[in-house]
Amino acid sequence: MKEWKGKLGEKEYVVHELTLEHLDSILRLQHIVLRSMEDENFLSPLTIEEFEDSIAHNLMIGAFVDNELIAFRALALPPIDDHHLGYDIGLSPEQLEKVVYQEITNVHPDYRGFGLQKKLGVIVMELLDASPYTHVCATVAPFNIASLKDKLSQGMVIGALKKKYGGMLRYVFYKKIHVDRISEDKLLEIPMDAIEKQQQLIADGWIATAILQKENNWYVVFEEKGTYI
C-alpha cells in the first residue's frame, strides 16, 4: 500500500488508502467534525453505504497521527441519474461514466490550520492523474470560504450555481483531469451574494475561476469558458 508522509507542527502524519477496517474511525471523525461546525449546512455527511462504496473503489484516503485517523478525503463514483453533476456542467450522457466526485473532506478540529485539507487534495489529484476518469466534480456552499479555496487551489472551476441536495444552494465545481485549462483575458468580479447575476453569467458561457476579498466582502472572479468542458 502506497503511503505519503509529512509533519503537522512537531507531529508526523502518514496518509494511505482506507479500508473497511477503518469504517468506525471514519464515522467517529465525521461526527466530531459535524459537532464542531458553526453551520452544518456547509457539510453534507455521507452514509455508511456511501463510505463503503468509496472504499470499495479505492477512492478514499486518510491521514493518521500515532495510528489515529485525524482526516480523510473521499472520492466517489456517482450513480448515473437525473441529479448527476455532469449534467449541471454540460456533459453528455455518454461522458458520465468517466466522472468521479470529490465527495467529502473531514479534518479533526485539533489538526486544523496546517493545510491538511489541501495536502490531501494534492494526493487525491495525484491518484486521479493515473486514473481512467476524465472529469472530477464537487459541490460547495457559497461563503464556505475554506472549501471554495480548497477546490480552486486544485485547478477546479465553477460550472454551475444551483440548488442541490433537497434545495440547498451549491456551486458545482469541475476539472478536466488530463487537460490543462487556458485562462482567458477578460475577467469579471461579481459579489458572492449576487446569486442571480452569477447564474446568468454561467448560463451565458462563463465559469468562475477564483474568489477574492475586498473590504470584508467576497467576490467571485469569472472568465469565459471557451472550450473547457
Which whole-number Å values give the CA distances from 186 to 62, 209, 213, in the listed order? 40, 12, 19
CB-based contact 63:70 (threshold 8 Å) = yes
Q: What is the pLDDT of residues 120-131, one digit of tens each?
A: 989 998 889 888
Alpha carbon of 213 to those of 141, 191, 198, 206: distances in Å? 17, 10, 17, 20
For residue 184, what pLDDT is reported?
Answer: 83
Using 50, 70 and 90 to split pLDDT, how confident is the model at 57?
Answer: confident
> For the domain 3-224, what is the CATH superfamily, name and number?
Gcn5-related N-acetyltransferase (GNAT) (3.40.630.30)
Are the beta carbons of 103 and 76 closer than 8 angstroms? yes
**Measured over all CA atoms, what is the biggest interatomic distance in the chain, rounded to whole angstroms?**
51
Residue 2 has pLDDT above 90, yes or no: no
pLDDT at 43: 67
pLDDT surpassing 90 at residue 157: yes
Please write the tens of the pLDDT for every residue from 132-151: 999 999 999 999 998 899 89
Confidence class of residue 46 from pLDDT cuts 50, 70 and 90? confident
- Which helix (H) or strand (E) segment holds residue 135: the answer is strand 135-140
Q: Sorting pLDDT into bands at 50, 70 and 90, what band is 58?
A: confident
pLDDT of residue 18: 96
Q: Please state, as a whole number, how many other Cβ atoms lie within 10 Å of the Cβ of residue 4.
A: 15
- pLDDT surpasses 90 at 94: yes
Q: Are residues 146 and 153 in contact, defined by beta-carbon separation less than 8 angstroms?
A: no
Q: How far is the C-alpha of 71 from the C-alpha of 89, rounded, in Å?
A: 29
Instruction: Determine the pLDDT at residue 63.
Output: 98
Average pLDDT over residues 100-106: 90
Rounded distance, CA 162 to CA 181, Å?
A: 24
Q: What percent of the chain has pLDDT over 70?
A: 97
Alpha-carbon 160 to chain mean position: 14
Considering only CA atoms, which of 179, 78, 177 is closest in space to residue 125?
177
Mean pLDDT score, 199-218: 97
Binned at pLDDT 50, 70 and 90, residue 44 comes out as: confident
Q: Which stretch of DSSP H or E encloses residue 151?
A: helix 145-153
User: What would the mean pLDDT of 21-48 be, rounded to a whole number?
Assistant: 86
Does 41 have pLDDT greater than 70? no
pLDDT at residue 75, rounded to an integer: 92
